[in-house]
Amino acid sequence: MNPAPLFPADLFRRQDETPDAEFYHHPRFVAHIDDAAIAAVTQLYREYFPPNSALLDLMSSWISHLPAEIAYRRVVGLGMNAAELRANPRLSAHVVLDLNEQPNLPFQNQEFDGAAICVSIDYLTQPVAVLRELARVLRPGAPLVITFSNRCFPSKAIAVWHALDDRGHLALVQRFLEEAGGWQPITLLDRSPAPGHSDPLYAVVARVALPQNQAVID
């Protein structure tokens, strides 16, 4: 008998199962978290993404929250709305792709030095496949910074997200990364700026595991 799947398909159902292209057809030039939570995201990027690196902003829009004072060699945005991506001043290139239709990333192996998914991981119906692809397109040792708050488009968030609280979301994202494989270490962070006064901000930061025989030189 086959063992029960780790993530049964029901966990990824959504209230709105119409194609995502319809939901994201019109641009939304809005911020999805408040200024203090955005500042916490920017601070994480400052800490983890080296200057002059090549970055992938997955599930991107018109804002990437990257620190204004730091220049990056290349920033590629992938999202659902072309007008939002075109308006994003940090992007050097963009791709419109529905990851729920096609979780394979149109990038080369080890093309990027870092990647971000901001307030969006809860919309992926195949998160393990996407995270496995991210481990392929990032170079060994590169960071992936996944951030989220307690807000979402409810009809488009996966069922398991609605079933869990903030701590549960951190544990869920960690399990997705473990199931994808190739991520080590995985760090869970609470970077909420001012509890009760701003949106909370949580992060799961993972690095692409180094080959076993590769020494880390400090």
Ligand X SMILES: C[S@@+](CC[C@H](N)C(=O)[O-])C[C@H]1O[C@@H](n2cnc3c(N)ncnc32)[C@H](O)[C@@H]1O
Give the residue, chosen from 37, 40, 107, 120, that forms a contact with ligand X under the rule CB under 6 A: 120
Q: Which positions from 158 through 217 interact with ligand X, judged by CB under 6 A?
A: none
Q: How many residues bind ligand X (CB under 6 A)?
A: 18
| E strands present in 59-180 | 74-79, 93-96, 114-118, 143-148
Listed residue (127, 130, 117) closest to 202, CA to CA = 117
Q: Which positions from 57 through 116 interact with ligand X, judged by CB under 6 A?
A: 59-61, 63, 79-81, 97-100
Spell out, one character per residue from 27 to 46, where the chain touches ligand X: x when CB under 6 A holds, - when not. -----x--------------
- 121 φ, ψ to 5°? -60, -25
Instruction: Tell me if 122 contacts ligand X by CB under 6 A.
Output: no
* Paired tokens of 129: 């496949």
Nearer to ligand X, 189 or 209 (CB): 189
Nearer to ligand X, 148 or 183 (CB): 148
Give the residue, chosen from 44, 119, 129, 177, that forms a contact with ligand X under the rule CB under 6 A: 119
Nearer to ligand X, 18 or 52 (CB): 18
Residue 216 CB neighbours (<10 A): 6
Give me the least distance between CB of 119 and ligand X, in Å please: 5
Q: In the sheet where 114-118 sits, what is the strand order? A: 93-96, 74-79, 54-58, 114-118, 143-148, 202-208, 183-190
What secondary structure does DSSP assign to 182-208, as a single string? -EEEEEEEE--SSTTTS---EEEEEEE
**Binding-site ranges for ligand X (CB under 6 A):** 20, 24, 32, 59-61, 63, 79-81, 97-100, 118-120, 123
